[in-house]
A and B are shown apart, each in its own frame.
Chain A
Amino acid sequence: MLPYSLDVYFSVIARMNAELWWAAMLAVLAATLVVLSVADERSGWIPRLAALTLALGWLITGTVFYGDRLEPLFFGAHWFQWAYTAQAALLALVAVAPRPGLPRASPAAVGCGVTLMLVAVLVMPGTEAVLRDGWPEIRLVGLAPEPTLVFTCGWLLTRTPGWPIALLALIPLAGGAAAGHSALALNWGLDWVVTAAAAALVLLPTLLAQHSH
């Protein structure tokens, strides 16, 4: 049970976007650069920079959205703030750790991951613009949790599976479950995209590995 309605949730998003429009634009620009970086990884530092950019997005979403904007309306907001801060710390840690790095996954996995990232940057906000009242009632990657989760699931799919990716997948998986609850509680079907992205993060690497064999 969530103690706010869908309209109130989007009014929080709208106010945040209107007041921090410059941050919203920067976040979308940064997300676009991360998508482009996957297409051209000439240096091992590129995925590390992408992970650091993602860490910043999680930190901002946790601090600004949950810690500041949603906190007065939702008693559980500070738990989410801590989870988002923890994910930011994990991303930063994996980004700067000398080993094992963040090697690129198979082309098929990268294709799936990039698709999810584009869904987060373009399809989700575009759909919301149609279903809601347009700008500023649009959730954007790097400021709002749902597209940030989908984008992160997509980016993690573009990396070779291993313990760093498994570690980085834990909180997004929990986020996918929370989004499913939210989809039911607020009757907002678009949030199922987050749950689907989390499921894809678990299932796709296994399915693709089986297929390649």
Chain B
Amino acid sequence: MTTHRRQRRRFLRQLGHALGGAAASRALPGATIALLSGAPTGVAADEIHRREIPDTDETIPAIGMGTYVTFNVGPDQAMRDQLTEVLETFFDMGGSMIDSSPMYGTAEAVLGDCLERLDDTEGMFSATKVWTRSTSEGREQIEDSLNLWGIEEFDLMQIHNLVNWEAHLETIRARRDAGEIRYTGITTSHGRRHDSLERIMRDEPLDFVQLTYNVLDREVEQRLLPLAQERGIAVIANRPFRRGRMFDRVEGKPLPDWAPEYGIDNWAQFFLKFIISHPAITCAIPATSRPEHMRENMGAMRGPLPDEDTRRAMITYLEEV
């Protein structure tokens, strides 16, 4: 039964894609998917927000999934079972983009194991990284990652934290030209190396950048996000919850009165909706090891998004609590 429900949901989602990306997603609101598939209506009460990859006709859901820490669980079977449930929830609720890295210990191996247990991962947008100073090791890492994920090609290959980026970019471009990778990207986190990233974004043709952006870390609004829009580069926002520390800040604090107007039922959705309402952001990638948190995260893809005034109110509210 579970399998059939999942396949039906997947079929409906794929139908949405086939009908024309973002426009079709609006034509097939989440409530309809929920009604037909039995998904919880509490979070599927509106359409799924998708974002266009600049200069393409392709769209991806505005909420993806990170794997840092959460999927680095080694051989522990109980934890892997729970992560398989997380992954199943992710796909069931319209998720697509998954991001990982060889730097994350066993995360890619665990992810591959969990994906293998799911009988249908069609529509997944796979993103990983190269993370080594050695150019030849970088080539091997891409092969290793393919094997660990159990897939034949990556949608997006990024250079982790700009490490040896010139050489790795050459490797990735060669593989893209050979049809083995679809998009190229480069990443940084927690504000380091923004100047270098800006230079690369100006000088190199990139499809994606990944950087830290959340309601408290907004430095990238000044230069990097406008530059990404100007250069037609998709943006993945990492650390949307500051590795969970933002929840400590708001523990026991109420959401603002106006939150329900934007379909915000919890703090995860408050944080995520702030991020994906920025016009330059393509996708946010929260990480979790708990299915109930995944449901909360994916709920941020539904309902109205805050406008500019509301975004300012969100910042003010968070600074005051």
Contact = CB atoms under 8 A, between A and B. Distances in A.
The interface size bin for chain B is 10 to 19
B79 A4 contact: no
A7 B83 CA distance: 14
Interface string A1-34: 1111101100110010000000000000000000
B311 to A, nearest CB: 28
Contacts of B103: 3, 75
A11 B76 contact: yes
A39 interface: no
A107 interface: no
Nearest to B101: A3
A70 to B, nearest CB: 9
Contacts of A7: 79
Contact of B76 (A3, A8, A75): A8
Contacts of A8: 72-74, 76, 79
A4 B72 contact: yes
Contacts of A98: none
Contacts of A72: 74, 105-106
A12 B73 CA distance: 9
Given A11-B74, A11-B79, A73-B72, A4 B105 contact: yes
Interface in B217-247: 243
A11 B82 CA distance: 15
Interface in B68-91: 68-70, 72-76, 79
Given A7-B79, A8-B79, A73 B74 contact: yes
Interface residues of A, number: 14
B104 interface: yes
A105 to B, nearest CB: 41
Contact of A12 (B68, B69, B74, B104): B74
Contacts of A1: 243
A73 B106 CA distance: 6
A101 to B, nearest CB: 43
B68 A3 contact: yes
Interface in B100-152: 103-107
Contacts of B105: 3-4, 72-75
A135 to B, nearest CB: 17
A72 B105 CA distance: 6
Contacts of A73: 72, 74, 105-106
Nearest to B105: A73
A28 B70 CA distance: 33
Nearest to A5: B69
Contacts of A74: 105
A198 B47 CA distance: 56
Contacts of B76: 8, 11, 15
A74 B74 CA distance: 10
Nearest to B73: A8
Interface in B42-78: 68-70, 72-76
B309 to A, nearest CB: 35
Contacts of A15: 75-76
B74 A3 contact: no
A3 B79 contact: no
B283 to A, nearest CB: 22
B72 A3 contact: yes
A7 B70 CA distance: 10
A15 B73 CA distance: 12
A7 B79 CA distance: 10
B130 to A, nearest CB: 14
Contacts of B106: 72-73
Nearest to B102: A75
A178 B27 CA distance: 54
Contacts of A11: 73-74, 76, 79
A197 B243 CA distance: 29
A8 B104 CA distance: 13
Interface string A59-82: 000000000000011110000000
Listed from nearest, the 9 A-B pairs whose CB atoms lie closest are A73-B105, A11-B76, A4-B72, A3-B105, A8-B73, A72-B106, A3-B72, A73-B72, A3-B104
5 contacts: A2-B69, A4-B72, A11-B79, A15-B76, A73-B72
Interface of A: 1-5, 7-8, 11-12, 15, 72-75
Given A4-B72, A75-B105, 20 more contacts: A1-B243, A2-B69, A3-B68, A3-B107, A4-B69, A4-B73, A5-B70, A5-B289, A7-B79, A8-B72, A8-B73, A8-B76, A8-B79, A11-B74, A11-B79, A12-B74, A15-B76, A72-B74, A73-B106, A74-B105
